[in-house]
Amino acid sequence: MTALETRADLLRQCANSYPDMFRRRVAEMPDKVAFHYPAYTEPEVWHTLTWAEARAQVDELAAGLLALGLQWQECAAIACSTRIEWVLLDLAIACAGGVTTTVYPSTHAEDEAFILTDSNSVFLVAENTAQLVKVLGSAQLDKQLRHIILIDDDTDESVGDDPRVLTLERLREVGRKYLAEHPDLVDETIAAIMPDMLSTLIYTSGTTGRPKGVELLHGAWAFEGAAVKAYDICYPDDVLYLWLPLAHVFGRDLVAAQIEVGFESVVDGRVNRLMQGVGETRPTILVGVPRIFEKVRAAVITMYPKTGIKGKLSHWAFGVGAKSRSYRVEGRRMPPGLAARYKLADALVFSKLRAKLGGRMRLMVSGSAKLSRQVQEWLYSAGLLLVEGFGMTETSAIASINHPARLRFGTVGEPLPGIEAVIAEDGELMLRGPIIMRGYRNLPEETAGALTPDGWLHTGDIGFIDDDGNIHITDRRKDLMKTSNGKFVAPQVVENAIMANTPYAAQAVVLGEGQRHVAALIVMDPDALESWGKHHGLSDATYAELTQRPEIQASVMRYLQRANQRLEHWEAVRKFVILDRELSLDLGELTPSLKVRRNVVLQNFAPQIELIYGDDSPLPWVDDLKEEEPAPDRKVEAEAKREAKQAAREEASKAKRTKREAPGEGAGGAETVDSAEAVDSAEAVAEAAQPEPVAA
């Protein structure tokens, strides 16, 4: 079928609205677990909520909002981190006929006041006192906000006694009473909501100015859910770890997909506990931004010294994994020797990495920024499938995604069913379909500039579509740089190469507009830097002091040389500065969604840029890499072989016991290694003493 035929078919199946989707899901599987959420204890205890239990809570909250006077299509804002209350309150606002305005909890008071005023939000859900104080005392908001609902009741005398403030528990009580008096009111409200009505206002990050309110309709969420389901990429028995900000369109879209497909979600936005939570709840799907997957790779790369046995084993294993990729992607049988080595690599290295991710990880999805192909291929080497998707706030998030059954590294996959994609004459990707926004709030000129009269959205991204229908994104049109040599450079390409090859880096900002060569400002990861300091007797050194250590400078130089090997010669980074502080949200260098505001960074770090490009720059030139092949260390080779054989025997013995006790696949789906084959294959680990180049 054509995209238009598929669209028509899906529209016939779609729910009328976001609440209608929710009601359908509850009716279909009322007793199935919908959500897992933490009790915020250590050790953590995870509670569950079935679809029927979720509906009971949502109905009470919706009735409470109606009792307090929320009118048809009025806006209610949520300023809260990712937690179960966000999901339930968002559904309640929709079921009451209202519109949700999302606000990042990190948003400054001034910017939040703008969002609340521009959206004309009359209700506010505040996570805690820290969010509450941002809006108290504002003359405009004092008039506009009729009620403020406080999720965590942590107020004290300093906040005062504002009659508009009520706790979440009090809202539930009001709702229960109102629902008893008007038992059909919520159902009647939901039945009146149509696809062309406004559902959500999400304000873009605003990397170049004030954020714009993107108007997303009920029909957009309903079609998005139906399209994801039709794409056959996730299933009712999946478990998603939902940690992304729900104020961001990507996080919000995952809830719509969950409701339509019926899988379970673990809802916990604590980034500092992400890997621990994943290990405890053992999800099958993890969705994140590229930085999360870069950090997983960096942690493995820096875990062991390269000259040690474990470091060499890890390096050898990923070399084997790189050789196996083309066979596995194409579904071809590996040669016997490679297959045996891969089984051993899996038993000794890859299975342990998968265990750290809970042991059941089936699919990982990266979005919100360009993913490095190098990181994607590296994870695939370890048996971890990471696919990339493309979307924008203006497309209700996911517009295309790489299907696991048709995996193509470096692409963002095919458009979702029913979505049209074309490349304009100037190379810009254009999209059309029911997921596209209605427009920008109170900005008719900007809306006209983004949407053509016949419904095509200008994405602002440059790319192409290959013969198999996969979309390739090369860069943002507005970000392309032109050096003084006349060469165009896509900053994302260079930054991805830096991040994929520099395990201690947290961010990279590439420079080069009008300059002779490309350069970079490097921000180091504070946790990685602190760990390095402890291991080198520098526990008391500050972040700034560690960034300027000659050892760190030399290390980054070597990593940049490796990154340059993956770039065209005119893209290669020739000079760099490691910044002595992290980029700051308070100084405007980052958006609330932690995207880099390039213009602000260039302004705030003008002295460092002058140091790079000045006529008498003292900074060293990053030369091309000329590595000598290391001579084999016979002692290490022998030790590696012995350790591999011993580990193989232990794995084989464990596999036999497991087979006797419970036949079938082990945790995480790791293949059982035949004892004799594994021990024989251990001879291959001697290659660890002569590390082969690793493709990713």
Whole-structure pTM value: 0.84
On whether both 147 and 253 belong to a single domain, the answer is: yes
The pLDDT assigned to 201 comes to 98
What residues have CB less than 8 Å from 539, skipping those under 6 apart? 533
In this structure, is residue 379 part of a structural domain?
A: no
Instruction: Return mean pLDDT, the chain.
Output: 88
Tokens read off for 386: 């990471």
Confidence of residue 653 (pLDDT cuts 50, 70, 90): low
What does the pLDDT look like over 632-645, one tens digit per residue? 444 444 555 565 66
- Which range marks the domain in which residue 571 is found? 480-613
Count Cα neighbours of 83 within 13 Å in the Cβ-side half-sphere.
17
Whether the per-residue pLDDT at 649 is higher than 80: the answer is: no
User: Which residue would you say has higher pLDDT here, 476 or 676?
Assistant: 476
Count Cα neighbours of 332 within 13 Å in the Cβ-side half-sphere.
10
Decide: helix, strand or coil at residue 342: helix
In this structure, is residue 444 part of a structural domain?
A: no
Q: Please give the tally of structural domains in the chain.
A: 3
What residues have CB less than 8 Å from 340, skipping those under 6 apart? 677, 678, 680, 681, 684
Partners of 521 in the beta sheet?
509, 577
On whether both 607 and 648 belong to a single domain, the answer is: no
On whether both 162 and 228 belong to a single domain, the answer is: yes
On whether both 607 and 643 belong to a single domain, the answer is: no
In this structure, is residue 464 part of a structural domain?
A: no
CATH assignment of the domain containing 489: 3.30.300.30
Whether the per-residue pLDDT at 631 is higher than 50: the answer is: no
In this structure, is residue 227 part of a structural domain?
A: yes
Whether the per-residue pLDDT at 227 is higher than 90: the answer is: yes
The alpha helices in 573-631, defined as continuous H runs, are 598-604, 606-613
On whether both 258 and 307 belong to a single domain, the answer is: no
On whether both 353 and 501 belong to a single domain, the answer is: no
Across 37-46, 288-297, 357-366, 549-558, least confident range:
288-297
* Nearest by Cα to 202 from 125, 76, 269, 103: 103
Whether the per-residue pLDDT at 305 is higher than 70: the answer is: no
The pLDDT assigned to 639 comes to 52
On whether both 165 and 220 belong to a single domain, the answer is: yes
What does the pLDDT look like over 486-526, one tens digit per residue? 888 888 889 989 998 998 899 999 999 889 899 999 999 99
On whether both 547 and 693 belong to a single domain, the answer is: no
Instruction: Decide which of 267, 290, 313 is a domain's last residue.
Output: 267
CATH assignment of the domain containing 84: 3.40.50.980
In this structure, is residue 293 part of a structural domain?
A: no
Instruction: Decide which of 580, 613, 646 is a domain's last residue.
Output: 613
Whether the per-residue pLDDT at 93 is higher than 90: the answer is: yes
On whether both 552 and 648 belong to a single domain, the answer is: no
Count Cα neighbours of 420 within 13 Å in the Cβ-side half-sphere.
17
Whether the per-residue pLDDT at 603 is higher than 50: the answer is: yes
Instruction: Decide which of 613, 629, 652 is a domain's last residue.
Output: 613
Confidence of residue 606 (pLDDT cuts 50, 70, 90): very high
Confidence of residue 206 (pLDDT cuts 50, 70, 90): low
On whether both 116 and 10 belong to a single domain, the answer is: yes
In this structure, is residue 64 part of a structural domain?
A: yes
Across 24-38, 66-80, 280-294, least confident range:
280-294
In this structure, is residue 380 part of a structural domain?
A: no
On whether both 186 and 71 belong to a single domain, the answer is: yes
Confidence of residue 291 (pLDDT cuts 50, 70, 90): confident
What does the pLDDT look like over 155-166, one tens digit per residue? 877 677 889 999
Torsion of CA 87, 89, 91, 94, to 10 degrees: -140
Confidence of residue 693 (pLDDT cuts 50, 70, 90): very low
On whether both 608 and 643 belong to a single domain, the answer is: no
What does the pLDDT look like over 365-381, one tens digit per residue? 998 888 888 899 999 99
In this structure, is residue 391 part of a structural domain?
A: no
